[in-house]
Structure 1
């Protein structure tokens, strides 16, 4: 079973920003495991 983490937690673990992770998603480099109905990654 995987543990869900917020985008902020993942950014902190990766020593980057949530904005960078969102950019990576926008350009197709990295995809979130899921996106909630509210748009949260």
Structure 2
């Protein structure tokens, strides 16, 4: 709704937060994939 009236600082901060969350999710997925592969190799 209020995307046009947003301050640039706020949008930049929100972008940084989104990037951080995205990176965290990627790291978690990679770690889970490695664990999954390790478990598969052991079994």
TM-score (norm 1): 0.30
Which structure is richer in relative contact order (CA contacts within 8 A, separation 6 or more)? Answer: 1
TM-score (norm 2): 0.29
Of structures 1 and 2, the larger Rg is shown by 2
